[in-house]
Structure 1
Amino acid sequence: MICSEQETLLEMIDLALPYTKHGKVATYIPALGEADPDTLAVSIYTTNGECYSAGNINQKFTLQSISKVITLALALMDHGEDYVFSKVGMEPTGDPFNSIAKLETLVPSKPLNPMINAGALAVTDMIAGSTVEERLGRILSFIHEMTNNTSIHYCDKVATSEYETADLNRALCYFMKQHRVVIGDVEQLLELYTKQCAIEVDCKDLAIIGYVIGNEGVNPDTKRRVIPMQIARIVKTFMVTCGMYNASGEFAIRVGIPAKSGVSGGILGAVPYGMGIGIYGPALDEKGNSIGGMKLLEGISHRFNLSIF
Structure 2
Amino acid sequence: MTSEWQRLQSKLPEWVEQNRHEYIHGKVAAYIPELSKAPADALGVVVMNGAGETVVAGDTELQFTMQSISKVFTLILALMDNGEDVVFSKVGMEPTGDRFNSMLKLELVEPGIPFNPLINAGAIAVSSLIRGNSPEERFARVLQFFRLLTCNDTLEYDQDVYDSESATGHLNRSLAYFLMEKGILRGRVEDVLEVYFRHCAVKLNCTDLARMGLVLAYNGRDPVTGVPLIPRRFVQIAKTFMTTCGMYDASGEFAIQVGLPAKSGVSGGIMTMVPGRYGIGLVGPSLNRMGNSTAGVHLLETMSRDLDWSLF
Matched, 1:64 2:77: no
Unaligned 5+ residue runs, structure 1? none
Secondary structure in 1 aligned to 2:270? Answer: strand
Matched, 1:78 2:81: yes
**What's the CA shift for 1:152?**
0.6
Aligned to 1:186: 189
- Indicate conservation of the 8 Å contact 2:50/2:224, yes or no: no
Report the AA paired with residue 144 of structure 2.
Answer: S
**What's the CA shift for 1:153?**
0.6
Of the three residues 137, 141, 154, the one matched with 2:140 is 137
**What's the CA shift for 1:3?**
4.4
CA distance in 2, matches of 1:107, 1:302: 40
Aligned to 2:230: 227
Matched, 1:305 2:274: no
In the superposition, the TM-score normalised over structure 2's length comes to 0.97
Secondary structure in 1 aligned to 2:123? Answer: helix
Matched, 1:6 2:9: yes
- Indicate conservation of the 8 Å contact 2:51/2:224, yes or no: no
- Indicate conservation of the 8 Å contact 1:267/1:280, yes or no: yes
Over the residues paired in the alignment, what is the CA RMSD in angstroms? 0.9
Aligned to 2:153: 150
Of the three residues 40, 49, 52, the one matched with 1:49 is 52
Secondary structure in 1 aligned to 2:22? Answer: helix
Aligned length in residues:
309
Secondary structure in 2 aligned to 1:129? Answer: coil
Identical-residue share of aligned pairs (%) = 50
CA distance in 1, matches of 2:224, 2:147: 12
Secondary structure in 1 aligned to 2:28? Answer: coil
Secondary structure in 1 aligned to 2:131? Answer: coil
Aligned to 1:242: 245
CA distance in 2, matches of 1:18, 1:33: 19
Aligned to 1:122: 125
Report the more deviating stretch, 137-146 or 284-293.
137-146
- Indicate conservation of the 8 Å contact 1:236/1:270, yes or no: no
Report the AA paired with residue 151 of structure 1.
Answer: T
Aligned to 1:106: 109
Secondary structure in 2 aligned to 1:42? Answer: strand
Q: 1:30-51: CA deviations, max 9, x gaps?
A: 0000110000000001133311
In the superposition, the TM-score normalised over structure 1's length comes to 0.98
Report the AA paired with residue 77 of structure 1.
Answer: M
Q: 1:79-120: CA deviations, max 9, x gaps?
A: 000110011000011100000100011211100000100000
Matched, 1:255 2:258: yes
